[in-house]
Chain A
Amino acid sequence: SQQGEEDPQALSIQEGENATMNCSYKTSINNLQWYRQNSGRGLVHLILIRSNEREKHSGRLRVTLDTSKKSSSLLITASRAADTASYFCATAGLNRDDKIIFGKGTRLHILP
């Protein structure tokens, strides 16, 4: 079954605004990752945050992780039309089973 659940399922914002997407998961994790997918393409890794980290930045991306609430958020600041894509969170569990489980994703549409 899916580990991560993103919300909202879809998000439309004006160019220049900030976009926030959330992810919740069910079991203890080793790390949480965010990926981006352009329509009909493979996924591209954006950022990885380990379970002992609370916040991480990469360019216009800011990721937070709250292990007590089993949730994470991805913030994209000053959005651009090129940010239009689907965004997925993925988790790697503590068990030595090497699984990487993805959520259902948030479809982000940046309006010009």
Chain B
Amino acid sequence: SQTIHQWPATLVQPVGSPLSLECTVEGTSNPNLYWYRQAAGRGLQLLFYSVGIGQISSEVPQNLSASRPQDRQFILSSKKLLLSDSGFYLCAWIVRRNTEAFFGQGTRLTVV
């Protein structure tokens, strides 16, 4: 069956430290992959999306970056975290355009 794995569930990092969040998808090939950030009690902000290996579209210019080294792997990174990077990060995928999105359980990042 198709599943999505996102980890860790919770992360506390000091300001200025690096970040690496990983998301992997099982049971499908060539999915579209998405990274969203959700501030407390707010909507989802699209950060990055990818339609294929090595293809990354950035929606929000900031100190975050994304990479897709393998078909079903999507990584969100930062070289130096800011306090404003705190939030709930969600990975999602769709099998093809105009279909439903499946979400991971999210990573709650607190930058201290």
Contacts and interface: CB of A to CB of B under 8 A. Distances in A.
Given A31-B98, A43-B90, A104-B43, A99 B49 contact: yes
Contacts, number: 64
Contact of B99 (A48, A88, A101, A104): A48
A101 B46 contact: yes
Contacts of B101: 33, 35, 43, 45, 90, 100
Interface in A4-37: 30-31, 33, 35
B43 A92 contact: no
A33 B91 CA distance: 17
B106 A33 contact: no
A103 B94 CA distance: 18
Contacts of B41: 107
Given A2-B43, A33-B101, A98-B97, A42 B106 contact: yes
Interface of B: 6, 32, 34, 36, 41-46, 49, 51, 57, 59, 88, 90, 92, 94, 97-106, 108
B104 A42 contact: yes
A40 B99 CA distance: 24
Contacts of B32: 98
Given A97-B57, A100-B46, A30 B98 contact: yes
B36 to A, nearest CB: 7
B58 to A, nearest CB: 12
A92 B97 contact: yes
Contact of A92 (B42, B59, B98, B103): B98
25 contacts: A33-B100, A33-B101, A40-B106, A41-B105, A41-B106, A42-B90, A43-B103, A45-B100, A48-B99, A88-B43, A88-B44, A90-B101, A92-B97, A96-B97, A98-B51, A98-B97, A99-B46, A99-B57, A100-B46, A100-B49, A102-B44, A103-B43, A104-B42, A104-B43, A107-B41
A48 B98 CA distance: 9
Nearest to A47: B100
Given A2-B43, A97-B57, A102 B97 contact: no
